Structure 1
């Protein structure tokens, strides 16, 4: 007998500065929840770090009367800092990411020239393997390894919902880039196909929305809609077609404006670099690396 997956309550919060969608996903039976891909606000002009987005997520939790059980990142983000550590300080919940984050650390350790940086999963409370299962309240959740955008990307499947980070965008926009260090368009195509093998009614929640044509912000679709409408999948029905399309598009895209700052924070689990003798933390920017 096939059982119908639980439909979690999903609350999205949009950050227009980075086009990022952050989520609180809750078990309706217990009020236990997880926060997914939270943003730590960073002003590159002043170097100031603030917590408006993270506090908005905590506001959602407080208004609903929920309890945070997990703080989850889908990958080490290139376009914003993670606020996972701040949220852990506020809630006590464990922080987690995919176990392949160590491969991202290896790449960026060299780019930033950090000979003393110790690659490893110890920056997080838990790192998930492909296929690993866990609970949010009484809801079943599992992890799908979804590389391509980054080598460390994972998808969280929670009941009838899947949090697909930067693989698929909304059906009117397309799919994610794959040209960052460690990215691979062929891997991304195969990851997308695995996500689209989920049941057609599965709700898909994306990590960004760029509001094509100036439409309102949107972040939810379904497997069926993506199959029927996503322009990149319609234009490129095979892996070879997709790699050609993705490679051409990626060559025309600028780097995210926060990438060189964000990766050295996010490969540390959201920690800023260690404070120096004068009590300040400093970010390194590799000149002419890209």
Structure 2
């Protein structure tokens, strides 16, 4: 099944020469090192928003919509219609702005079906009650591996790429792939795999899966942290560049070698600064917790758990 799905994705990339080239506009949020995207079909003007950011001041406990408003302004200026709000996974480093964008622009909110595992694990960590359904109902579509959809006339395939988390998805849209946190720029390497449900061996296999796509495939990444010696942020690369130059997983790096490296590196990393508010919100599809009796919304901070 996996080979059939990947072959279909590779064929889609190759065949993309005969369809409009996907137009991709990136929005980089430096406080969270996150790249969000608006990707559209230039013929039909239909579009998707991928991995949006809701600004959050953790010290003050305040949210803001400046980053999302920049996306809204671009979509309206370009006269685009939003079909999809795509999440590659339940992010641990930023809050999603998908509900705010959906209210303003429409579109169906989608993520991988394995979000159910994330909801189950973190529902327990945050001691959520029965009001938190854990059935993915906060989303409009739960993608399975190989599910097909479209951005206007441009075909798309959802690929399950677990390892960073169990729910990670990559979206192959025309000849472009939005990889989420699976890969970083070649000079920075790969995503961590030590969150609950993460697995370095799965991550290696997911990366190898992506790197079997044609070398010219455009890859759009979710984060960049500027590798040592590089003085600018970057978030677009190609399958070919990753195959030959990725410092963690270039051609010739075996699975056991990668797993040993990844586990050792992960052991040195601290938790992301916004993991507790982010997961708490993102497992709900970006919806904030319901207000309590006094009208105020609260985020929980479980102690000595992660």
Same fold (TM over 0.5): yes
1:247-276 deviation per Cα after TM superposition (whole angstroms, max 9, x unaligned): 000000110000011111001110111111
Matched with 1:179 is: 194
* Uncovered stretches (5+) of structure 2, i.e. residues with no partner: 1-10
Matched with 2:45 is: 31
- Write out aligned runs for 1:257-268 (5 A): 257-268=273-284
Q: Does 1:195 align with 2:207?
A: no
Q: Does 1:132 align with 2:147?
A: yes
Query: 2:172 is matched with which residue: 153, 157, 166?
Result: 157
**RMSD, matched Cα:** 1.4
How far has the Cα of 1:105 moved from its partner?
0.5
Q: Does 1:111 align with 2:125?
A: yes
Query: 2:181 is matched with which residue: 160, 166, 189?
Result: 166
Structure 1 residues 247 and 69: CA distance shift in structure 2, 3 A: same
2 CA distance for matches of 1:222 and 1:3? 17
Q: Does 1:53 align with 2:67?
A: yes
Structure 1 stretch 111-120 or stretch 222-231: which is displaced more?
A: 111-120
* Uncovered stretches (5+) of structure 1, i.e. residues with no partner: none
Matched with 1:246 is: 262
2 CA distance for matches of 1:114 and 1:163? 31
1 CA distance for matches of 2:15 and 2:177? 17
1:218-275 deviation per Cα after TM superposition (whole angstroms, max 9, x unaligned): 1110000000110001497111111100000000011000001111100111011111
Kept after mapping to 2: 8 A contact 1:25/1:35: yes
1 CA distance for matches of 2:124 and 2:211? 35
How many positions carry a matched residue from both structures? 290
What TM-score, normalized by structure 2, do the two folds share?
A: 0.92
Matched with 2:239 is: 223
2 CA distance for matches of 1:251 and 1:3? 42
Kept after mapping to 1: 8 A contact 2:281/2:289: yes
How far has the Cα of 1:211 moved from its partner?
1.3
Query: 2:302 is matched with which residue: 277, 286, 289?
Result: 286
Matched with 1:77 is: 91
1:34-86 deviation per Cα after TM superposition (whole angstroms, max 9, x unaligned): 00000001100111011111111112212222111111100000000000000
What TM-score, normalized by structure 1, do the two folds share?
A: 0.97
Secondary structure of residue in 2 paired with 1:122:
coil
Structure 1 stretch 233-242 or stretch 183-192: which is displaced more?
A: 233-242
Query: 1:204 is matched with which residue: 199, 203, 219?
Result: 219
Secondary structure of residue in 1 paired with 2:253:
coil
Runs of at least 4 residues of structure 1 off by over 4 A?
none
Kept after mapping to 1: 8 A contact 2:164/2:193: yes
1 CA distance for matches of 2:112 and 2:67? 23
1 CA distance for matches of 2:279 and 2:40? 29
